[in-house]
Every structure is written in C-alpha cells, then in structure tokens.
Structure 1
Amino acid sequence: MTPQETARRIIHANNYLTLATTDHTGHPWASPVYFTPDSGIDFYWVSRPDSRHSLNLTTRPEVAIVIFNSQLPVFHAEAVYLTAHAEQVNDGDLPHCTALYRRRHPDLTTFTPEHLQAPNLLRLYRARAVEASVLLDDDGPDSRVPLALPI
C-alpha cells in the first residue's frame, strides 16, 4: 500500500480528528472533533462559535490536525498529520458543505443549513490542508512521509 493509500485509509476509518489551535497570544489548545473529509484537502466539523477552538480561529486560522486510531498497540501507530487554514463556512456555501458533511453522517439530520446559522448555536467549519504527511506502521522508528495534496 502506498503512503497516499495508507493516509486515505486512516482518514476514512476514523470519525474524529484532533484539531490544534492557538489563541492570539500563542497559547495552544487541542480539541477532538467529529469530522467529514472531502476531496482529500477539505475537512469539516460542527462546533459552537463560542468554543475555545472556534474563538481561536477568529484570530489565528492556522491549525494543525492529526487523525489516528488510538486503539492500536504500542509501536504500531499510524497517523495523518495536516497543517491547514480553517474558517467558519459562510452562509452561501452552507447548502453544498452541509450536504458533504451529512453524506458521511446521514443520521445527523439536524445538521442542515438552517440549523447551522444564527440564531442556532452550532456552525459548520472547514480546514483546508496546505501540507500533509503520514506516519507509517513499518516496524521502524517513527518517521513521517510527506504526502502530495490532495490525499
């Protein structure tokens, strides 16, 4: 399996990604978010705009992401690492982007464009990857292999 195929397998096998943000002073914050990938470059999640990671995005849209299976035995980890620019999806893009999000999670029937706008409490966010790598389970020391985008 190629590194690109391994990365796609990891992304599609997991429902959560870990989103790392920083506030305006550079203090870090990490959050697990339930996500949907799209086209190997965009990653979507739903959050409250007043949550710490969402507030951090308003001043620093640069994020780091890791997607991994935490149930693997020690020394067998595989992970996808991304650097990305993240933002709240604007109202004009909500119909298209919520359809993408719900394609992977069709049971989330309340995640419609109408439910992800004011005065409701949740919003849809997107991270667009600018760099990617994969950690392979190759029985050797941890090493990341750079990936071409889209994954």
Structure 2
Amino acid sequence: MTPQETARRIIHANNYLTLSTADQAGRPWASPVYFTPDGGLDFYWVSRPDSRHSQNLTARPEVAIVIFDSQVPVFHAEAVYLTAHAEQVPDADLPPCTEIYRSRLPELTIFTPEHLQPPNPLRLYRAHATEASVLLNDAGPDLRVPLDLPI
C-alpha cells in the first residue's frame, strides 16, 4: 500500500480528528471534533462559535490536525498529519458544504444550512489542507512521509 493509500484509509476509517489551534498570544489548544473529509483537501466539522477552538480560529486560522486510531496496540500507530487554514464556512457556501458534511453518516442529515445559522448555536467549519504527511506503521522508529495534496 502506498503512503497516499495508507493516508486515505486512515482518514476514512476514523470519525474524529484532533484539531490544534492557538489563541492570539500563541497558547495552544487541542480539541477532538467529528469530521467529514472532502476529497483529501477539505475537512468539515460542526461547532459552537463560542467554543475555545472556534474563537482561536478567529484570531489565528492556521491549524494543525492529526487523524489516528487510538485503539491500536502499542507500536502499531499510523496517523495523518495536516497543516491547514481553517474558517467558519461563509453563509454563501453553506448549501454545498452542508451537503458534503451530511454525506458521511445518516445521523448528520439533521444539519441543514438553516440549522447552522443564527439563531441556532452551531456553525459549520472547514479546514483546507496546505501540507500533509503520514506516519507509517513499519515496525521501526517513527517514519513520517510527506504526501501530495489532495490525499
């Protein structure tokens, strides 16, 4: 399996990513969020604008993301690492982006564009990957391999 194929498998096998943000002063914050991938370049999640990670995005849209299975045995880890630019999805982009987000699981069909606008409390967010790598499980020391985008 190529590194690109391994990365795709990891992304599609996991429902949560760890989103790492920083506030205006550079203090880091990491949050697990349920996500839907879109072609290996964009990653969508729903959150409250007043959550710490959402507020951090307003100050600093640059984020780091890791996607991995925390249940694998020790020394069998694989992960996808991303550097990305994140934002709240603008209202004009909500219809197509909401369809993408909703496409992963039937439970997500409750999220309509209207559900993700005021006065409702949740918004749709998107991270656009600018750099990616994969941690390969090769039974040796950590081996991170750069990836071409889209994954």
Percent identity (aligned):
81
Query: Is the aligned partner of 1:7 residue 2:36?
Result: no
Tell me which residue corresponds to 1:122: 122
Contact 2:101 2:108 in 1 (8 A): no
| Structure 2 CA distance for aligned equivalents of residues 131 and 36 of structure 1 | 18
Q: Which runs of 5+ in 2 are unaligned?
A: none
Q: Which amino acid aligns with 2:91?
A: D
Aligned pair count reads: 151
> Residue by residue, what CA displacement relative to the aligned partner does 1:111-138 show, whole Å, maximum 9, x if unpaired?
1000000110000000000000000000
In the alignment, which residue of structure 2 is the partner of 1:28? 28
5 Å-filtered alignment, 1:30-49, equals 30-49=30-49
Q: With the length of structure 2 as denominator, give the TM-score of the two structures.
A: 0.99
Cα pair 2:45 2:124 within 8 Å, conserved: yes
Question: In angstroms, what is the RMSD of aligned CA positions?
Answer: 0.5
What amino acid is aligned across from residue 137 of structure 1 in structure 2? N
One-letter amino acid of the structure 1 residue matched with residue 83 of structure 2: T
2-structure distance, mates of 1:132, 1:102 = 24
What does residue range 40-59 of structure 1 map to in structure 2 within 5 Å? 40-59=40-59
Partner Cα distance (2:44, 2:61) in 1: 14
Q: Is the 8 A contact 2:30 2:53 kept in 1?
A: yes
Q: In the alignment, what sits opposite 2:18?
A: 18
Q: Secondary structure at the match of 2:140?
A: coil
Q: Tell whether the 8 Å contact from 2:42 to 2:127 is kept in structure 1 after alignment.
A: yes
What are the Cα deviations for residues 28-75 of structure 1, in whole angstroms up to 9, with x where unaligned? 000000000001100000000000000000010000000000000000
- Matched residue, 1:108: 108
1:67-96 deviations in whole A, cap 9, x for unaligned?
A: 000000000000000000000001111000
Q: What one-letter code is carried by the residue in structure 2 that aligns with 1:99?
A: E
C-alpha distance in 2, partners of 1:63/1:108? 24
Counterpart amino acid of residue 142 in structure 1? D
Using the size of structure 1 for normalisation, the TM-score is 0.99
Which consecutive aligned stretches of 4+ in structure 1 deviate over 6 angstroms post-superposition? none
Q: Which runs of 5+ in 1 are unaligned?
A: none
Residues 53-68 of structure 1 aligned to structure 2 (within 5 Å): 53-68=53-68
